[in-house]
Amino acid sequence: GKNEYDLLVIGGGSGGLACAKEAAQFGRKVAVLDYVEPSPQGTTWGLGGTCVNVGCIPKKLMHQAALLGSALKDAQHYGWNISQPVHHTWSVMAQGVQNYVKSLNWGHRVQLQEKKVKYFNIKGSFSDPHTIRGLTKAGKETVVTADNIVIATGGRPKYPMHVPGALEYGITSDDLFWLKKSPGKTPLVYYSYIVFIKIIVYICLIRVSPDVSLECAGFLTGIGLDTTVMMRSIPLRGFDQKKQICFTTQQQMASLVTEHMESYGTKFLKRCFPTKVEKLKSDRLQVTWKNADLDKEETDSFNTVMWAVGRAPDTKTLNLETVGVKTNSETGKIIVDASEATSVPHIYAVGDITEGRPELTPTAIAAGKLLAQRLFGQSSELMDYDSVPTTVFTPLEYGCVGLSEEAAVQRHGSDNIEVYHAYYKPLEFTVAQRDATQCYMKMVCLREREQRILGLHFIGPNAGEVIQGFALGIKCGATYPQMMKTVGIHPTCAEEVTKLHITKRSGLDATVTGC
Amino acid sequence: MAQRLALQRLLSLPTRGPLASHGRAFGTSAGRRSTFNVQDGSDFQDRVVNSPKPVVVDFHAQWCGPCKILGPRLEKLVAKLEGKVLMAKVDIDDHTDLAIEYEVSAVPTVLAMKNGDVVDKFVGIKDEDQLEAFLKKLIGA
């Protein structure tokens, strides 16, 4: 018979909701399925997906909390009378952040209602290419049929399953943002000093970019918690050719960012990997690890152990094998073509679940919208994944757009590339007597006649705000001469981009001085 | 759910389920009798839709600042009316479906309900005079 819906979207996150709402604009009958499987620690959340609940939004807000802490320290130099040290209360920040996220959950729910998209809070799996069987939390079954189905279930954090105790005692970013109490013991009332709260974040840098872990470790340190980052290897030289996301394993940029974190108090255990996690009588966690450099086992106790070893696509319970949707055997992600189509007609996929795409909200949203326009709006426009700008919100932020230096060299050859770079000092750091050693930028250009800009990389405050504008220029094919003709705004950090002139090739000192 | 409510009213079915056995009320002693937190869909049905007295329904949320001001202000005025009007509080995160059913989009949203029908409504904060007029209209009309 006839299918109930024109479009069924599985997954109410950035990509899924955008696709559903756009399709509804064309007067189609659309339904969205969203379901959050509780984390091993029991954390769960509402409609909106990873970005809203356990990603971009809470992360940026907590990053802001940490930045405000730094600002308070700087404030004294600018004349403010603030008694140091200033203390941070996790529960106040967490409640503010969690309340805002809840308001977004509600907002999404209202939007679906307003756009006449049917919402089901059920966990869906395929029965056949046009039929989804869904289960409510209570176990009640619903069957939904649709002409077209979009899979947008995203991913969840991985656990290092081979480490005993990892699953039982560790948390991930899924849990961190929803903690009501500080990721450590709250100061014991009957002691007259603050108990130091120790957290360890383990990241495995083999395949993934370290941003989630470094961002979290960054703000945890910034709010005053004793934080250690353990990494199996130092950031790699290579890069992921398929993804070509500018920040992927950029050794130079990653090491500058981590250097900054180190100078601000984050501890790093490099070339170490955990072998087990045990719970002590005091409720603290004992972590044992192998130090590859010293070739010995070491151990220490922490209040919280957080894993940041990458994300796995949420496909296991979808029953993809039944309908024949092909996935990448290594990553488990769904294989799609340039039009987001899977190996099965009328079944599509967008967002983090798809192979070879950036794991970013804006690309998921854009891809979802364009897909709906192609399906129901007579459009043929495909998603352009080229020159997608992005930013890592570590204490010293790293923003970029276009090719990494390595990717440019791989594509064009080092003789055909010119890299302009500079170390600079933000004006605001001067009076505050802040160390600007890692404030750095580089622009990768073609060497031939036009000198088109291939990529721009910026480490410094407000990197995201700085890079956004330049992304337009790069999209339009801006060239080095055009950049040099662009007048800078003074005094800003961004203006230094328009003044880049020292090349890596020259070997000259790239430190620029202010006016 | 809307269909079920309409059907029940049509067939004048007796109230089902426990009558406010675990409803929490708060405020002054007069308030204790006239304000309650809605527990679930059938509780709403029993104590709001099927209420013999008019009910003011306050849709609110934890994360809503203005709600925290409007709530107590409204409760105080409802308490002064000594039982002529009841007040039901609905947390939209706990009862999302109910809120969506009654077309709540922003909070606070306050509905005036009489004999199961929505007879008046306002969104956002109101001052005491405005609230008094709202309540007067509900009892009077």
In B, residues 1-60, which contact A (CB 8 Å cutoff)? none
Q: Is the pLDDT of residue B10 over 50?
A: yes
Minimum Cα–Cα distance from A120: chain B residue: B97
In a 13 Å sphere around the CA of A193, the CA atoms on its Cβ side amount to 3
Residues of B whose CB is below 8 A from A109: 96, 100
Q: Is the pLDDT of residue A38 over 90?
A: yes
Domains of chain A by residue range: 5-155+312-377, 157-311, 396-506
Residues of A whose CB is below 8 A from B93: 46, 102, 105-106
Cβ contacts of A214 within 8 Å, gap of 6 or more = A203, A229, A257, A258, A261, A392, A394
What does CATH list as the number for A157-311? 3.50.50.60
Contact B120/B111 with Cβ under 8 angstroms?
Answer: yes
- Nearest-neighbour CA in chain B from A147: distance (Å): 27
> What's the average model confidence in pLDDT over A52-81?
96
Residues of A whose CB is below 8 A from B96: 106, 109
What does CATH list as the number for A396-506? 3.30.390.30
> What's the average model confidence in pLDDT over A410-431?
95
- pTM attached to this predicted model: 0.88
Least confident of A68-77, A398-407, B30-39, B43-52: B30-39
Cβ contacts of A515 within 8 Å, gap of 6 or more = A490, A491
| A113–B62 CB contact, under 8 Å | no
Percent above pLDDT 70 for chain B: 77
In B, residues 102-121, which contact A (CB 8 Å cutoff)? 104-105, 107
Taking alpha carbons only, the member of A358, A318, A315, A355 closest to residue A335 is A355
- What are residue A456's phi and psi, to 5 degrees? -130, 135
pLDDT category at A390 given cuts 50, 70, 90 is: very high
ipTM: 0.76
- Nearest-neighbour CA in chain A from B101: distance (Å): 10
- Do the first three CATH levels of A5-155+312-377 and A157-311 match, i.e. the same topology? yes
Contact A486/A440 with Cβ under 8 angstroms?
Answer: no
CATH ID of B33-137, from 3.40.50.300, 1.10.150.20, 3.40.1280.10, 3.40.30.10: 3.40.30.10
pLDDT category at A284 given cuts 50, 70, 90 is: confident
Q: Is the pLDDT of residue A246 over 60?
A: no
Q: Is the pLDDT of residue A242 over 50?
A: no
Q: What is the mean pLDDT of chain A?
A: 89
Mutate to test the interface with A, among B103, B105, B123 (most CBs of A within 10 A): B105
Using the 8-state DSSP alphabet, how is residue A41 labeled?
T
| A110–B93 CB contact, under 8 Å | no
The Cα–Cα gap between A461 and A394 comes to: 10
Q: Which of B48, B55, B67, B92 is catalytic?
A: B67
| A105–B93 CB contact, under 8 Å | yes
Three-state helix/strand/coil letters over B48-112: HHCCCCCEEEEEECCCCHHHHHHHHHHHHHHHHCCCCCEEEEEECCCCHHHHHHCCCCCCCEEEE
> What's the average model confidence in pLDDT over B35-47?
94
Catalytic residue ranges of A: 490
Taking alpha carbons only, the member of A264, A174, A173, A172 closest to residue A223 is A264
The pLDDT score that the predictor gives to residue A347 is: 98
> What's the average model confidence in pLDDT over A143-160?
95
Question: What distance, in Å, lies between the first and last C-alpha atoms of chain B?
Answer: 28
Q: Which 3 state secondary structure label does DSSP give A307? A: strand
Residue A305 structure tokens? 């152990």
Edge-to-edge strand ranges of the sheet holding A296-302 = A272-279, A285-291, A296-302
Least confident of A100-104, A369-373, A400-404: A400-404
The pLDDT score that the predictor gives to residue B21 is: 40
Residues of B whose CB is below 8 A from A100: 63
Out of A99, A100, A106, name the one closest to residue B92 (CB): A106
> What's the average model confidence in pLDDT over A318-331?
95
| B61–A105 CB contact, under 8 Å | no
Domains of chain B by residue range: 33-137
B64 is an active site residue: yes
Establish whether the linkage from the previous residue to A164 is cis, with ω within 30° of 0. Answer: no
pLDDT category at B7 given cuts 50, 70, 90 is: low
Q: Which of B49, B64, B94, B132 is catalytic?
A: B64
- Nearest-neighbour CA in chain B from A180: distance (Å): 15
CATH ID of A5-155+312-377, from 3.30.390.10, 3.40.50.970, 3.50.50.60, 3.40.1190.20: 3.50.50.60
